[in-house]
Structure 1
Amino acid sequence: MRASQILALAAALPTTLAAYKGFNYGATGRDQAAFEGEFNAAKNLAGSSYTSARLYTMIQDGTTNTPISAIPAAISTKTSLLLGLWASAGDAQFANEIAALKAAVAQYGSAFTDLIAGISVGSEDIYRITPIGVSNNAGLGVGPETIINYIGQVRAVVGDKPIGHVDTYNVWTNSSQNALIAAVDWIGVDAYPYYETTKDNTIENANATFWDDYDVTVAASQGKPVWITETGWPVSGAASGKAVASVDNAKTYYDDVACHAFANNINTWWYILQDTGASPSFGLVGAGTPPPTTPLYSLAC
C-alpha cells in the first residue's frame, strides 16, 4: 500500500476503540425472524464475526411508517445498526421515514438507541442525478440541498448520534458537495472496482482502484471520518468490462480490501452476506434459510 493510502487510512480512524464491522441488509420481504436469522449467521460466520448491520430505510416492508423489524432483531441479537432513511422519494415519503424513526425511539428507547452506530440520510442520491448515474438508469435522486434539509430533520430527533450521508467517491470529490460535507459528522463511500469499466478493472488492479477511490474521498472530507459503507466483489455473474466474477476473485478482493480495512480500524459494511438468485451475486454465503455460517471462501486475514 502506498504512503498516501496509509495516511488516508489513519485519517479515517473512528473515535471508538473498535471499528464497526458488518453487512448491508435489504428490507424487502423480511420480518423479525428473517433479520434475526441473518444477524445471527453474520455473528457466527466461520473465520470472522460481523456484528453490525447497515439498513437503507426505517420503514417495515409493506407498511406506511411502521418501524422496520430489523430493530427488535438487532436488540435480540446485540447487533449494532447503521440506520438509513431513504431520501429520494420526495418530502412526503421522507416524513414517513422520520415518523418511523420517532416511533422506534419511543417504542424501544435506549435498548434501540444504544445500538446506533450512525444514521445515514440517503444512499447514492446525488450519484443518481449525475450524468453517469442517469446514463446507468440509476433511478430517482436528489441534490445536496435536499439532503442537508433532511439531515436537519434527523438531528431534531436524534441529534446525539453521528449523522452522515452515503454516496459514491466521484460525488464526494466534486466541490459542489462542500456544503453537504460540512453538514455531516461522517462520510460514507460506496466503491465497486468491479463496475468501474472506464478503468482497467481486472482483479489485479482492484486493490489499487478501491484505495484510490477511498483516498480521494478522504482528501475531500474536510477532516470528517470516512466509512466504507458498500464494497465487494461478485462470486458469480457476467463479466463487467475486464472484471470477472468468481469465488477466487472475490476472495482476492476480500483479502486486499476487507482485511486492510479491518486492520486499520475503518468502519466497514461489506456487500453482502447473502443474495441468492442475484446476478451478479456478491453473497459471502450460499442459499439457505437462515443463511449458512460457512462462507464460500475463507475469511481469514
Structure 2
Amino acid sequence: MRLPALTTTALLALSHLSLAEAYWKGFNVGANNPDGTCKTRDDWAHAFTQLASLPGHFTTVRTFATSDCDTLANAVPAALDTGTQLLVGVWTQDDAHFEREKVALEAAIREFGDEWIVAIMVGNEDLYRGEVTAEVLAGKIYDVRGMVRALGVEKEVGHADTWTAWVDGANEAVIQASDFVAHQGYPYWQGADIANSASVYWASVQATRDVVNAVKPGTWVWMTETGWPVTGDDFGAAQASVWNAQEYWKQVACEAFNEGHTFWYAYQDYTSTPSFGVIGQDGNPLYDLTC
C-alpha cells in the first residue's frame, strides 16, 4: 500500500539504519518489573540484552515516561551500554507531573546527548481517555518540541493514541502539532476473531493514515502498540491464548516490521490480566518470534 512521504527528519533517522532494517522495530517496556518494583539500571540492561538476543535482534525500545521510577536516569545508561535506542514517552497527566517529565528529559539530554533518542512521544492515549482537549495536548507537544529544540535536539516529537482517537475530527489539532502520529490498535479489544484479526488491524492503520494524510499530508504514521494476550478473558469473538498470540505475531508483526516503524506490546507483563507479554516468568519467549 502507498505510504505518505517521509519528512526530512525521518529520512535522516532512517539513514542510520541498514538496508535490511528499513524501519525502527522494538517492544514496549514499562519502568516497573512484573512484581511492581521499579527497574534498576541492571534491570533495564537485562531487558535490552534479552530483546537484542531474540530473533529479529530488537535494539529499539519504547518507554512510557521520563521521571517515573527514574526511567531515563536508569534506562539511558543501560541503553548506551547495550547499543539500544529509545522511543521516549512523556506523560502529560496533570501539570506537575508533566513538569517533572520535562525536567527528567532535559537532564538526560544534557548528561547523555541525544544519540540514544529515536523520537519523543508526548502523551499516551490521552484523547482516548478523554483526559484533555486536543488543543491543550497540542500545546504540550509544542512545549516539549520547543524545549528539546533549544537543547539542539532535532528528533521528531509526536503523540501516541488509539486509532479511534485519530479518526475523530475533534482531534485534528494534535495531528497538526505532531511531527509523526503514533497509531495504537488491538483487534482483541475490538472483539475480533483471530482469523480476522490481521484485516481488522490493517483497516485501523489505513483509516488512521487516510485521516492524517488529509489533515497534514506527508506526516508519518508509526505503529506503537499492538499485540495479542496469551492469557485472559474472551472479549467478544477474541480469545486469549498462546496459540492465538503466536498467530497474531505471524500475521501482523512480521508484516508490520516491513511496513513501518513498529513497537510491539509488550516485552513482559505476566502478572497482568489479560497478559500481552511475550517473555514468560521463566525468562523465555512464550511463543516463536521468528518471521
TM over 0.5: yes
CA shift for structure 1 position 206? 0.5
Distance of 2:136 and 2:44 partners within structure 1: 31
Say whether residues 1:259 and 2:267 are aligned partners: no
Distance of 1:210 and 1:60 partners within structure 2: 31
Does structure 2 retain, via aligned residues, the 8 Å contact 1:169–1:190? yes
**Identity, % of aligned pairs?**
39
Taking structure 2 as the reference length, what is the TM-score of the superposition? 0.87
Does structure 2 retain, via aligned residues, the 8 Å contact 1:60–1:68? no
CA shift for structure 1 position 12? 7.2
CA shift for structure 1 position 185? 0.5
1:150 to 140, 148, 171: 140
Residue matched to 2:159: 165
Structure 1 residue ranges (4+ consecutive) displaced by more than 2 angstroms after TM superposition: 10-15
Say whether residues 1:186 and 2:180 are aligned partners: yes
Which deviations, in whole Å up to 9, do the C-alpha atoms of 1:199-239 show, x marking residues without a partner?
xx100111110000000000011331000100000111211
Classify the secondary structure of the residue corresponding to 1:83: strand
Amino acid at match of 1:217: T
* Worse overlay, 176-185 or 14-23: 14-23
Residue matched to 1:177: 171
Say whether residues 1:100 and 2:104 are aligned partners: yes
Say whether residues 1:75 and 2:80 are aligned partners: yes
Cα 1:39/1:12, change in 2 over 3 Å: farther
Higher relative contact order (CA 8 A, sep 6+): 1
Cα 1:67/1:207, change in 2 over 3 Å: closer
Map 1:110-149 to 2 at 5 A. Answer: 113-129=114-130, 141-149=131-139
Classify the secondary structure of the residue corresponding to 2:126: coil
Equivalent pairs counted in the alignment come to: 267
Taking structure 1 as the reference length, what is the TM-score of the superposition? 0.85
2:243 to 222, 245, 248: 248
Which deviations, in whole Å up to 9, do the C-alpha atoms of 1:127-175 show, x marking residues without a partner?
001xxxxxxxxxxx21212211111221122231100000011111111
CA shift for structure 1 position 114? 0.8
Does structure 2 retain, via aligned residues, the 8 Å contact 1:12–1:227? no
Map 1:209-224 to 2 at 5 A. Answer: 209-221=200-212, 222=216, 223-224=218-219
Map 1:229-240 to 2 at 5 A. Answer: 229-240=224-235
1:51 to 59, 62, 77: 59
Distance of 2:48 and 2:129 partners within structure 1: 29
Distance of 1:235 and 1:256 partners within structure 2: 16
Does structure 1 retain, via aligned residues, the 8 Å contact 2:134–2:172? no
Distance of 1:12 and 1:118 partners within structure 2: 18
Amino acid at match of 1:228: M
